[in-house]
Amino acid sequence: MQAKKRFALLGSAAASLFLLAYLSGTQLGHRGTGQQAVGAAVPSRWPRWLGGPLPRLAVLEGADPQVELAPGGPTGPTTPLRAPHCRMTNCFDSSLCARNGFRVYVYPTPKGEELSESYQKIVRSVRESRHFTADPRKACLFVLGSDTLDRDQLSRHFVHGMRAKVQALPHWNGGRNHLVFNLYSGTWPNYTEDLGFDLGQAMLAKASISLDTFRPGFDVSIPLFPEEHPQRAGARGHLHANDVPPVRKYLLVFKGKRYLTGIGSDTRNALYHVNNGRDIVLLTTCRHGKDWSKHKDARCDRNNEDYESDS
């Protein structure tokens, strides 16, 4: 089990590093509206990341690279969630980063609101990083103080009135240069991606995001992690990222629910094909929802037994 814990810690660290690299490196190489041109030199105070330049995202997506959105909000067609044509070229003002470097501001949590343990870890990680600033005038990126991780209205962590709260933020500006985190949206069994408020030009860091709504080079796909997931890994020297072959016993470990119906069920029901019981271990349970037994298949009894016996 120690190996499983180390794998979970590594996954969290990798996701955090990817997110920081994505935000402070790759994205800022593009220009904001009326600002730095694509391919222009990155100021020396910004970190330099390995790898060659990427093709223009607008060209890759077949979008019109000349489409620009007004600073006050999107002018083109939008979905209930966001401005679908947003890319770093038209919905991110990189001049804010050019003035003060990559600085992240976290809004204060409104009075009376409680943050979930998971969102507390995200906010705490940002505030303890070298990129944090307590001065919004120096910020390049803004993170909400309200918890948006769980947008399932049946959840105890669901925050009501987010539409009005977001619009009331002093630096919202249609969502520009804002990053919104989300793990769950909608409710079982469909889990629609309606967050209950308009993202506008804000970037979305989301787990299990749909290809139909994902905006490449703008939104961030993050792993789904449990509330008890640790914020930090072990002591220095415990991470052997460059060891080949790896020193860990397990290459992949997953323990969770597999949906018998609804969105995601096809994928999760097929995971058992990669489970070899040695270095790839996948433990799933069919017990999900009140009527799960009506949809149980031939593997459910064995899956449930293995899931409950291996802690």
- 3-state SS, residue 285: strand
Give dist(CA 104, CA 88) in Å, integer. 17
Give dist(CA 182, CA 112) in Å, integer. 21
281-301 pLDDT, tens digit each: 999 999 987 889 898 999 999
Distant-in-sequence, close-in-space partners of 91: CB < 8 Å, separation ≥ 6 = 33, 69, 74, 83, 175, 176, 201, 218
* Nearest alpha-carbon partner for 207 in 305, 118, 297, 309: 118
Distant-in-sequence, close-in-space partners of 206: CB < 8 Å, separation ≥ 6 = 181, 182, 183, 185, 193, 219, 220, 221, 222
**Across the strands, what pairs with 252?**
280
**Cβ count within 10 A of residue 56:** 17
Q: Kindly provide the b/e burial profile for residues 119-136, where b requires at least 16 CB atoms within 10 angstroms of the residue's own CB.
A: bebbbebbeeeebbbeee
In this structure, are residues 39 and 30 in contact, taking their beta carbons and an 8 Å threshold? no
pLDDT at 233: 66
- The tokens for 37 are 């041109």
Helical H runs in the chain?
2-21, 57-61, 95-100, 117-127, 162-167, 265-268, 300-309
In this structure, are residues 141 and 103 in contact, taking their beta carbons and an 8 Å threshold? yes
pLDDT at 64: 38
Q: What is the mean pLDDT of each run of 10 residues along the chain (311 residues)?
A: 44 47 47 41 43 39 38 37 86 95 97 95 96 98 97 92 96 97 84 88 93 92 85 65 70 87 80 90 88 90 90 59
Give dist(CA 48, CA 25) in Å, integer. 7
pLDDT at 43: 45
From edge to edge, which strands make up the β-sheet containing 203-206? Answer: 104-106, 141-143, 178-182, 203-206, 220-221
Residue labelled with tokens 């906010």: 123
User: What's the pTM?
Assistant: 0.63
- 3-state SS, residue 256: strand
In this structure, are residues 17 and 233 in contact, taking their beta carbons and an 8 Å threshold? no
The one-letter amino acid code at 8 reads A
Residue 127 to residues 13, 74, 284, 297: CA-CA distances in angstroms?
A: 16, 30, 36, 47
Give dist(CA 176, CA 12) in Å, integer. 27
In this structure, are residues 192 and 186 in contact, taking their beta carbons and an 8 Å threshold? yes
The one-letter amino acid code at 169 reads L
Give dist(CA 241, CA 82) in Å, integer. 37
